[in-house]
Amino acid sequence: MKKYNVGVIGATGMVGQQFIACLDGHPWFDVKILAASARSAGSAYAAVMEGRWELPVKMPGWAEGIVIMDAVADAEKIASEVDFIFCAVKMTDRETMELEEKYARLECPVMSNNSVFRMTPDVPMIIPEINPEHAAVIDTQRKRLGTSKGFIAVKSNCSIQSYVPALHPLMDHGLTDVLVCTYQAISGAGKTFKTWPEMVDNVIPYIGGEEEKSEAEPLKVWGGVKNGVILNASAPNITTQCIRVPASDGHMAAVFARFEKKPSIEEIKKRWRAFSGEPQQLKLPSAPKQFLHYFEEENRPQTRLDRNLENAMAVSIGRLREDTQYDVKFVSLSHNTVRGAAGGGVLMAELLCAKGYI
């Protein structure tokens, strides 16, 4: 595989930091550019990030001396020097939309962690193990944008990363109804306990916009491609509650599911153990060897013990049993800023490179 020069836009934020950590030592991608807002531009990354590096791993040495560029004012220069960008900015929806389309029109593909284009029919929202075929709509998007190389591909919301993968191998049983309660870590808000002390010994039963995303986005992921665009699936019916809990990283979901043809407990476990997708078949660098891990222990998965499974790219599942109201229920867990954000974005880029879209 050829080497690609890449940039990280929004490099000073929580997800931007995670992109840098995920790309450290990557066999395909060399980070050449870090960009952020105008107030950070012109200074070395280490100087800007003094006291602001929030990850448990050390900042990679190669990143320390990179001089930050202005994500907006330097867009033309950035686009000319990289093969594609990872984007995780904190801007208004309109500003984000304009910025990402600007890079795409500059013939620079955008791997976005932002939400503004997630429901656009010709923008693929890819969980690589589940819907890699959605990349086909990139050709339609390029025609709309008037580009030959540039396009936008997006990550789905971090809240759906634990339960959608667990439900996906069971779809042929006719999944009709899903109830999910998510218990989401504070890093999903870009916070730590140091910056958000109010979350210590606290639970907040509301996360703005999460429930709407958690109910709508799976239907796009499970949708089909027709006439060059993605048509959302009409089922299952999904209802969610999203709750902020005092965990640093890791989103957990309590899932209840109903089927037209109820699978047995053993059949479900068998499906989970056997499931793999294109990333595993292609042996992509960031792909977990086993995407779905089932724990037989009654007290697993646990956030602190299991969020980093397979470099934080696997999904942990446990407590599968029959339910009195639905058919089955279980608990699942994923790392929200790795699999659910930066790591998933890197895996998506690997997939699109392997398939020839970049």
Digit-coded pLDDT (tens) for 146-185 = 999 999 999 999 999 999 999 999 999 999 999 999 999 9
- Identity of the amino acid at 57: V
Q: Is the pTM of this model over 0.95?
A: yes
Same domain, 122 and 187: no
Is 158 assigned a catalytic role?
yes
Cβ atoms of 166 and 315 closer than 8 Å? yes
Same domain, 98 and 190: no
Same domain, 331 and 350: no
Same domain, 252 and 164: yes
Domain of residue 15, CATH code: 3.40.50.720
Same domain, 292 and 326: yes
Q: Which helix (H) or strand (E) covers residue 306, if one does?
A: helix 303-306
Same domain, 197 and 269: yes
Burial 196-208 (b: 16+ CB within 10 A, else e): beebeeeeeeebe
Domain containing 306 equals 159-335
Is cis: bond before 197, omega within 30 of 0? no
Digit-coded pLDDT (tens) for 261-302 = 999 999 999 999 999 999 999 999 999 999 999 999 999 999
Whether residue 1 is predicted with pLDDT greater than 90 in this model: the reply is no
Angle at which helix 343-354 crosses helix 14-23, to 10 degrees, equals 50
Distance CA 238, CA 316 (A): 21
Same domain, 325 and 246: yes
Same domain, 18 and 147: yes
Q: How many domains does the chain have?
A: 2
Same domain, 69 and 90: yes
Which of 20, 12, 22 has the alpha carbon at shortest distance from 343? 22
Is 108 assigned a catalytic role?
no
Same domain, 229 and 145: no
Mind giving me the DSSP string for 92-127? -HHHHHHHHHHHHHTT--EEE--STTTT-TTS-B--
In the set 22, 158, 242, 353, the catalytic residue is: 158
In the set 168, 173, 251, 293, the catalytic residue is: 251
Q: How does residue 145 score in pLDDT terms, banded at 50, 70 and 90?
A: very high
What tokens appear for 18 in the block?
């995670």
